[in-house]
Amino acid sequence: MANRSSRHFLAERIRQAVARHEAQIRDFTAALVAVPTENPPGRRYQECARLIANQLKRLNFPAQMLRVPQRYLAGGGQSEPRWCLLSTLGDGPRALYFHGHYDVVPAAHPRQFRPALKNGVLAGRGSADMKGGIAAMIYAMAVVKELRLPLDGRIGLVLVPDEETGGAGGSRYLLETGRLGRDGIAMFTPEPTSGVIWNACRGAISMRVVVRGKPAHVGLHFRGVNAFERAIELVHAFEALKRRVARRQTRFAIAPAAARRSVLLLGGQAAGGTNFNAVPAEFSFTVDRRINPEESHAREKRALLAVIERFRRRGFRIDVDIFQEEPAAGFPAKEPVALAMAESARAITGRAPAFEMCPGLLEIRFYAECGVPAFAFGPGKLEVAHGPSESVVLKNVYEFAAIYALAAARVLAPKSRR
């Protein structure tokens, strides 16, 4: 009983502390949205990282800006430098990570970088995905510090660019240099999850298959090799594989039932030929395989490549370009840190969030690679993220600042108080 009322008291203190910072949280979110960190191509990263670093310093937190060496960047060359930003509160060998990305998908219109406030809603590119969430996490740290909540361990803030294009210049770099997830007991990232907690995401193998033939004019068609007709045979083989793949269903929660099936999408892009009256010398199509967390990435990749190999042995000339490859990740909803986050959300909002699998890729996969349980839970709505009228409800941003602070206080509570 005493325990429950002291928890209630803590939630209330945190809520009041956040309330005193509402104007700052709002203004900081708007300032972040006003920096057009569009990715691709990855613009204004240094400016945005500096803006965040200065805010951290004003709140008396350390801020370390790391410039990512060119060799970690896919393509490299002409791109602007990538910057990661690290901060921390507390010390000791247990780290709870607050992880965010400050890049945004390109705007539908330049207006999206002029943040607009109306009726408690802040509109602008990145407001939901995920600059509002970054502000919430930073002010969660500020409140934990201000209230001197005892921590057995530390909160590690990790902010990266390049999430929207695979993470090479952000999380992948931190992982490869041993900086990601060090001493981690858990990670939370404020993706726009529309009120649920994502505890899993699918992996991906995305590739372009180019089938080569030999060109010839229609009158001399017998001298050519028809790349389109060859591609059709190959597509039929992939369809057979797709039928086997679709029989496997994930046990992670995702609605509707059809969404549980493992995914093989054929022909998202397809192209070839030069004219109606010429034998096509080339035909290409994409294969997008989205792998459930329960499946073996290596085995599924072998199955895809085996289809290609079979046709190569028959003399087909086929090139394959795997342009995206990312592992799946999934953590039990019963994980104590996940339950602490769900309980904190209930204490602040009155509603306990459900756990679901994310339909897309998440940076929780990088933490999965170093064995740190990771979850996405943020103030934005998935329905508006990446869209032409992206926005975030400020009340949700404030609530999440309180939720993150409360969850951190619980997860990192000294043993006697846990």
| Residue 173: count of CB within 10 angstroms of its CB | 23
Distance of closest approach, residue 101 Cβ to Zn ion, in angstroms: 6
CA–CA distances in Å: residue 84 to residues 64, 101, 126, 172, 266: 8, 9, 18, 11, 36
Preceding omega of 256 cis (within 30 degrees of 0): yes
CB of 386 to Zn ion, least distance (A): 8
Nearer to Zn ion by Cβ, of 129 and 326: the residue is: 129
Give the number of other Cβ atoms within 10 Å of residue 153's Cβ: 19
Contacts by 322-325 with C-beta closer than 8 Å and gap 24+? 322/205, 322/206, 322/207, 323/206, 323/207, 323/208, 324/166, 324/204, 324/205, 324/206, 325/204, 325/205, 325/206, 325/301
Q: Is 162 in the site for Zn ion (CB under 5 A)?
A: no
User: Shortest gap between Cβ of 41 and Zn ion (angstroms)?
Assistant: 17
| Cβ 284 vs Cβ 211: under 8 Å | yes
CA 60, CA 394: separation in Å to the nearest integer? 24
| CA–CA dist 47, 24 (Å, integer) | 19
Provide the minimum distance between the beta carbon of 32 and Zn ion in the complex, in angstroms, as a whole number: 13
Instruction: Give min distance, CB of 366 to Zn ion, in A.
Output: 14
Chain residue whose CB lies nearest Zn ion: 129
Q: How far apart are CB 130 and Zn ion at their closest, in Å?
A: 5
Closer residue to Zn ion in complex, CB, 130/175 = 130
What is the C-alpha to C-alpha distance for residues 252 and 383, in angstroms, rounded to an integer? 21
Within 45-64, the residues that bind Zn ion by CB under 5 A are none
- The smaller minimum CB distance to Zn ion, of residues 103 and 300, is found at 103
Residue 378 C-beta: closest distance to Zn ion, Å: 8
User: For Zn ion, which is the closer residue by CB, 191 or 295?
Assistant: 191
Nearer Cβ to Zn ion (38/129): 129
What value does the CA radius of gyration of the chain take, rounded to a whole number of Å?
A: 24
For residue 168, how many C-alpha atoms fall within 13 Å in the half-sphere facing its CB?
18
Q: Please identify, using beta-carbon distances, which residue of 115 and 170 lies nearer to Zn ion.
A: 170
Contacts with Zn ion, 172-211, as mask; x by CB under 5 A? -------------------x--------------------
Contact stretch for Zn ion (CB under 5 A) within 130-138, 257-265, 291-299, 405-413: 130-138
* Number of residues binding to Zn ion, judged by CB under 5 A: 3
Site for Zn ion in 354-383 (CB under 5 A): none
> Which residue's CB is nearer to Zn ion, number 132 or number 153?
132
* Residue of 146, 194, 200 whose CA lies nearest to 409: 146
Residues across the chain: 418
Using CB under 5 A, which of 103, 129, 326, 390 touches Zn ion? 129
Rule CB under 5 A: which residues touch Zn ion?
129-130, 191
